Structure 1
């Protein structure tokens, strides 16, 4: 008979080990340390914050602020775990500050060499130091105001963490992104970031914005322009909506300004920057029908609500939140974005790109010397005896035909020409518009199909002879499984043996489309979305593919009345500025832009 194993002894961990373990949840990399120190400075009421780093924050992080400071007698408590001035812990749902857990400084003191100097107005300055969790006594210091936190040799006490850090440049970039993210929510605070690795280099300088009594949102818009660039600020759509005590404000970038990565999506809850899956998912859903696959919108969204409606105590890093009414928040974000994106509007960036692409290379005209024959002809033309005969030989001037009056009431103006069978050129009161007829009509058909489906059964056209289409077995099975959903779209299919389906009815709007290609695209769309895409997304994906088959093809010549009808319908249709794949449907050029193109301005 074998003896049972001896149970291990349970014993408490050493306090220093506890601090180092806990530090791993709060301080993952140098940017995490900078975030915690910046939030402390903002909670202290700072109006100016200066950050200096060396070697991507590994060797040095120094944060100076002009906030209220910390009393000398409370400096040891500032480095103790779970000691904070932000809350008394009675109500952890009523959080109105960035910090509240009392872990940041204690965690940094446990894994680095930390120095904390501070001065409260009317009192003497003091400094306290810590190394690997061991805290030294408080000493007098020389400091005019505020607080200076200096961290050296980050993670020296936990060398294993150093192996997981990225390169120096990547860590420095992460710090810069962290500072910008917080600076966007605090336009009245000045921020600077300096890199001391090789000399001293100013990386970021953001001056404090002045209040604007005429438009309270103007300081925030100017700060966003300084951080995200002029292209975003000039073209972004302002947002403002409220639902059940949740107020959403901010700016949403045009679909044409989308990027290849989700690095320009900034979401704030009660002024706190978060990377919340609910909000980011709602942001993607708001742009679902107007972005190409793999593209990500630019946006800065600010959601404000009663702190009791949101729990920020979800994770030590405070990057996630939990809403009491998550459905309300998601609906508010999605609905506000879709309403803002629906109206037809030109994208300023597209006009700039067109001008730059069409701008000729600089050149200097150097006339060639005239030939002897040309000189002789010139003398003959200028001879007095030939002047009157030459004038009599000139044909009379052609009568001036005034162009048709521009339909200024229409944003897309009046069609004047069609180029290369796809580009409609329209004259507007302020310039001209170039429309991609295939992309524009594709959007119109898509929106019409969605509208018909929402209002009731889609009008269908029965095929005189059912069309049997052979497909790979998995695609045929996919269509058979989705037959009820496809029938709602006006696409009536049924299995027809192994690896084949029969198409019996098509939407009336697509009566002339290639039925076999339509089924193949529908099967492909269902496969791309998968079962996890949800019924709504799968239906929209199929509708988008169907709309492509029912749109005007490139190369088809349109009559003037057809072109104008297309323009008028674009003006009435939501999201007509982009096709189903996220490409722009038109480019607008103002007269000033055209004059710039020809060097007249």
Structure 2
């Protein structure tokens, strides 16, 4: 039988280091968090070879005395936990855990001088062994150098990535911590090159735009919402300003950068009917809640958290984000791209035509016969509810109709008044797809299908389509869906919530659920696939609200089929009706897939095209 023995101290330290120090970015995170907890107002970070050769963090915080410095290098020694209530810790990290772990796998130099002290102190350890200890000259604060990380642990060193990859991870760490604390100035240098330099006491929105993307200043909305003891602030990008990956979503809980599935799921839910599935929002959200309502000690690096009431947190985030985005009105990230502008070029003047070109007015003089909607609902079995639903669809999806009329004096005055509307007055149509409108401040180009798709979706929601969708349609033969027992348990706990959305379930043995009814709008859908998707959503995010989001996606699909299609000719009256409704409709600046519904060429842009500026 193997003999149980105590591990030697140096091996214990290396095992602990494996939990805290996975790569240079992990060590850097711990050191910068310590500097923040020390009350610093300025933090400077210097790196060499992506942190593999050197990590140096200098701060102007409270500093440490020589005896405190020695204690900080012992395991489980900290100044950040005054009592035994670990769940109420309000700091970012534990200096007594990080420093000995880092010092056991690198050469660690600590120099520190408390405010008011005549001189500082220096302590050097080489892979856990103290090699120097004595006075040091430095201003008040602390400077920590980590050199040759994992130099004597080749098994760990060879699994690190390239210096370029490690540098990218370190940069992300500093960016997130600098974003979390706009009251602190940060400087980041890599191989002698300054990459980040932000001043202390910046406004949150300015700090986020500086660190994430300058476009957020124009293409983002401010978040400031409270519910109970929870407070959410930050900047959320417009749906039209999105990315192909989720790397530009920065989430913070009580000032701590986190990567939490619940929060990312809430973000996805808030943007559910405004972004395509393969696109991701750009945002930075800062959630403040009482420390006793969140557990930050579920992960050694404290990058994951666990909430006491996850349903409340998710609902709060989704509601706050949607409210802020709706407040943006028809705003979108509508500026034409530099590449598109660059495609314009001056062409040689064509020779004069023998026959005069038709006047602009003649282009709209023809009669217009309204076309029938291209949306054709599937005809289910005849019933009163089905007929009522078809009537409801026809009403809310009615397309704008009108006929071109000659302009009278009153109409001309009305047109001049329309020029002062944000989206101006329609002047024509290109390729039966794009509406050209003139506004006081420039030229507006509208994608008619994308715009009307958003209008139909908002009509459906405003008219109570969400309530109509939750009507149950009983299945002629209840369907048995086999699932894992854990998935069935999760669904059983949410049976009442599911029924509110129109999905009626019953437990049918240890590993199966019985589907008795589905939401009426999903009448001919695969009930088994729906239940499996909901079970997966519950397992992933733990919230039945995702079923409501699934119904929102169905609404979006219906809106797409019921909207004015590209390639359809519209009259001037129809085009103007579309513009006016866009101005009244929230979130009309983007379609249901996150694409812009309109762009604007300001007068200055047009003048540049013709060399007038």
Give TM class, smaller chain. Answer: 0.7 to 0.9
2:281 aligns with: 297
Shift of 1:240: 0.7
1:583 aligns with: 595
Report matched runs for 1:441-480 at 5 Å: 441-450=452-461, 451-456=463-468
Distance of 1:232 and 1:439 partners within structure 2: 23
2:24 corresponds to 1:30: yes
2:602 corresponds to 1:557: no
Deviations 1:510-549 (A, max 9, x none): xxxxxxxxx8xx99x9799686355334433333333322
Shift of 1:402: 6.4
Shift of 1:426: 2.5
The alpha-carbon distance between structure 1 residues 178 and 327, as it changes in their structure 2 partners (threshold 3 A), is: same
- Contact 2:205/2:222 (<8 A) preserved: no
Unaligned runs of 5+ in 1: 1-6, 211-218, 367-399, 460-480, 494-518
The alpha-carbon distance between structure 1 residues 80 and 458, as it changes in their structure 2 partners (threshold 3 A), is: closer
The secondary structure found in structure 2 opposite 1:416 is: strand
2:197 corresponds to 1:205: yes
2:361 corresponds to 1:357: no
The alpha-carbon distance between structure 1 residues 492 and 322, as it changes in their structure 2 partners (threshold 3 A), is: closer
Deviations 1:34-79 (A, max 9, x none): 1111111111122222211111111111111121111012211111
Match of 1:118 among 112, 115, 126: 112
- Contact 1:129/1:135 (<8 A) preserved: yes
Task: Give RMSD over aligned pairs.
Answer: 3.2
Report matched runs for 1:358-373 at 5 Å: 358-359=341-342
- Contact 1:421/1:557 (<8 A) preserved: yes
Shift of 1:9: 1.4
Shift of 1:344: 5.6
Distance of 1:344 and 1:76 partners within structure 2: 55
Shift of 1:420: 1.5
Distance of 2:95 and 2:134 partners within structure 1: 26
2:444 aligns with: 433
Worse overlay, 533-542 or 119-128: 533-542
The alpha-carbon distance between structure 1 residues 173 and 551, as it changes in their structure 2 partners (threshold 3 A), is: same
1:310 aligns with: 294
The secondary structure found in structure 2 opposite 1:170 is: helix
The secondary structure found in structure 2 opposite 1:238 is: strand
Worse overlay, 303-312 or 29-38: 303-312
2:585 corresponds to 1:573: yes
Aligned residues: 503
Distance of 2:470 and 2:313 partners within structure 1: 32
Unaligned runs of 5+ in 2: 350-408, 472-513, 538-545
2:242 aligns with: 258
Distance of 2:135 and 2:95 partners within structure 1: 28
Worse overlay, 263-272 or 590-599: 590-599
2:182 corresponds to 1:190: no
Bigger relative contact order (CA 8 A; separation at least 6): 2
Distance of 2:271 and 2:67 partners within structure 1: 53
Distance of 2:447 and 2:532 partners within structure 1: 27
The secondary structure found in structure 2 opposite 1:434 is: strand
Match of 2:253 among 269, 277, 288: 269
Match of 1:416 among 416, 422, 427: 427
- Contact 2:107/2:127 (<8 A) preserved: yes
The secondary structure found in structure 2 opposite 1:140 is: strand
Distance of 1:458 and 1:320 partners within structure 2: 35
The secondary structure found in structure 2 opposite 1:103 is: helix
2:73 corresponds to 1:83: no
- Contact 1:529/1:537 (<8 A) preserved: no
Q: Which structure has the bigger radius of gyration? A: 1
- Contact 2:329/2:583 (<8 A) preserved: no
4+ aligned runs moved over 4 Å, structure 1 = 343-349, 359-366, 400-403, 481-484, 525-531
- Contact 1:452/1:458 (<8 A) preserved: no
The alpha-carbon distance between structure 1 residues 425 and 361, as it changes in their structure 2 partners (threshold 3 A), is: closer
Distance of 1:260 and 1:279 partners within structure 2: 19
